[in-house]
Amino acid sequence: MRVNWKSWSLNKHQHILVKLAVAILLVGLAFRLLVSRSKGFASDLESPVLEKEQVQEPALKPPAPVEIPDNEDQIPLDVVAEKCDLFIGDWIPNPSGPTYTNESCPLIEGHQNCMRNGRPDTGYLYWKWKPRDCQLPRFNVERFLELMRNKAWALIGDSISRNHVQSLLCMLARVEQPVEVYHDEDYKSKRWHFPSYNFSISNIWSPFLVKAAIFEDNNGVSTAEVQLHLDKLDKTWTDIYESLDYMIISTGKWYLKAAVYHENDTIVGCHICPPGKNLTEVGFVFAYNKTLHHVMNFIAKSKHKGLIFFRTSTPDHFQNGEWHNGGTCPQTTPAKEGEFEIKDLNRILRDVELQEFEKAAAKAADNGVNLKLLDFTNLLLSRPDGHPGPYRQFQPFAENKTAVVQNDCLHWCLPGPMDYWNDVIMEMVVNG
């Protein structure tokens, strides 16, 4: 029997090629399986919801879009955080409501305690501030207190600052109750201490930020013009300035009051001048410019090593009158965009504030002073529903449902819109 060696050799060669091809195919399948499983593990770690949806969807259909939950601590990947303007945004529904109530926080001043005073609607409590370009995490009490261990804060200014202090204290009290350790004779300046953190918060009453003689009772009734020394900063706050790690400084509405202005202990003019005294009417803008220039120079040249916020004055929502002549604010929901325009007087104050801040910011940076701006105008302008209105008093309509009572359309209910200031401030403290 003769063997055809040429045919056998060819068949053998073909057989080897087939085996080699099968081997390569098997190795390729194994490698593909390994990579696929590896990707699956990574996917499980990064997005279990997405992996689950990919498994459930038929292969021929495109994957269903994944809805990202409303996680306030998550910033979308396509947002550059440092470009986010925390002060431009919208109020969106917040079904969970406030983090404290008047029952859980005994620190709310009576005039802002809208719940206790009988305000019947509660819708104003169920909104949250949402910047348009990023997520704003809710105020983290534990983290804030840890960051503030062995530190001192002060909020310096008028009754809006006092309003804000109460908001901040109520939020912090969810972790530890603050202990009041100081108050002045009139109970207008106070200090609280958090013993577990050796952390203190002060509210410093200085409505003009400069030396002032004020002749006014707690209801805003004046018996004489304010005497303002525009070239002398109020020692109530400057004397403790260097001891503070953080501070929020503000003023504003008090400059609209009748006042006589002094420089170098000499009268230089007045606003709403008293009759019969032959003084020169120079207007409140004159005084406000001078005061803020002096305040900003003091800060910029101080070489202070803490963090200093300058807060612009806040808008009010009086309609059909003002504080003293029957103005009201009956809204119960946030305003739509453009529904409320900033009033002329508020705009004038804010323009002066922004102008003087801008001039001081460069000087402050050159001197290593960390000076930041808090401009809550846009945040508050659309919240005419957040004021106490007639409920600055306890049960104002209990005896007469048609009683004419004074409305407060300047300060803010607590809890209420002001609580979201703290979210913004913490974000600026943490991320600069």
Higher pLDDT, 296 or 277: 296
Give the mean model confidence (pLDDT) for residues 98-109. Answer: 95
| Per-residue pLDDT at 163 | 98
293 is catalytic: no
Q: Are 128 and 91 in contact (CB under 8 A)?
A: yes
Q: Which of 4-8, 56-60, 245-249 has the highest mean pLDDT?
A: 245-249
For 22-52, how does the pLDDT look when each residue is reduced to its tens digit (9 = 90+)?
455 454 544 444 434 333 333 332 333 333 3
Give the mean model confidence (pLDDT) for residues 396-421. Answer: 95
Spatial separation of the C-alpha atoms in residues 422 and 140, rounded to whole Å: 10
Written as one string, the DSSP assignment of 59-102 is TTSPPPPPPPP--TT---TT--GGG--TTSEEEEE-TT--S--T
Q: Domain locations in the chain?
A: 5-56, 81-431
Residues 6+ apart with CB under 8 A from 320: 326, 327, 328
Strand partners, 266: 263
Give the mean model confidence (pLDDT) for residues 397-411. Answer: 93
423 is catalytic: no
Residues 6+ apart with CB under 8 A from 298: 233, 238
Spatial separation of the C-alpha atoms in residues 272 and 288, rounded to whole Å: 14
Q: Are 137 and 423 in contact (CB under 8 A)?
A: yes
For 338-381, how does the pLDDT look when each residue is reduced to its tens digit (9 = 90+)?
889 999 999 999 999 999 999 999 999 999 999 999 999 999 99
Spatial separation of the C-alpha atoms in residues 418 and 383, rounded to whole Å: 10
159 is catalytic: yes
Integer angstrom CA distances of residue 261 from 249, 285, 356? 22, 12, 20
Q: Which of 158, 408, 419, 423 is catalytic?
A: 408
pLDDT band at 223 (very low <50, low <70, confident <90, very high): confident
pLDDT band at 133 (very low <50, low <70, confident <90, very high): confident
> What's this model's pTM, rounded to 2 decimal places?
0.80
| Per-residue pLDDT at 127 | 98
Higher pLDDT, 18 or 163: 163
3-class secondary-structure state, position 195: helix
End-to-end Cα distance, the chain: 94
Please provide the average confidence, as pLDDT, over all residues in the chain.
85
| Per-residue pLDDT at 389 | 98
For 321-332, how does the pLDDT look when each residue is reduced to its tens digit (9 = 90+)?
998 889 999 999
Among the residue ranges 30-39, 83-92, 122-131, the one predicted with the least confidence is 30-39
| Per-residue pLDDT at 83 | 64
Going by the DSSP 8-state scheme, the letter that residue 147 receives in this structure is H
Residue 62 has pLDDT above 90, yes or no: no
Q: Which of 111, 229, 262, 411 is catalytic?
A: 411
From 3.40.50.720, 2.60.40.10, 3.30.930.10, 3.40.50.1110, which CATH number describes the 81-431 domain? Answer: 3.40.50.1110
Residue 53 has pLDDT above 90, yes or no: no
| Per-residue pLDDT at 37 | 39
* Residue whose token pair is 């230089």: 268
For 235-246, how does the pLDDT look when each residue is reduced to its tens digit (9 = 90+)?
999 999 999 999
Q: What percent of the chain has pLDDT over 70?
A: 80
Give just the sign of the alpha carbon dihedral 333, 334, 339, 340: positive
Give the mean model confidence (pLDDT) for residues 301-311. Answer: 96
Q: Which of 159, 200, 202, 302 is catalytic?
A: 159
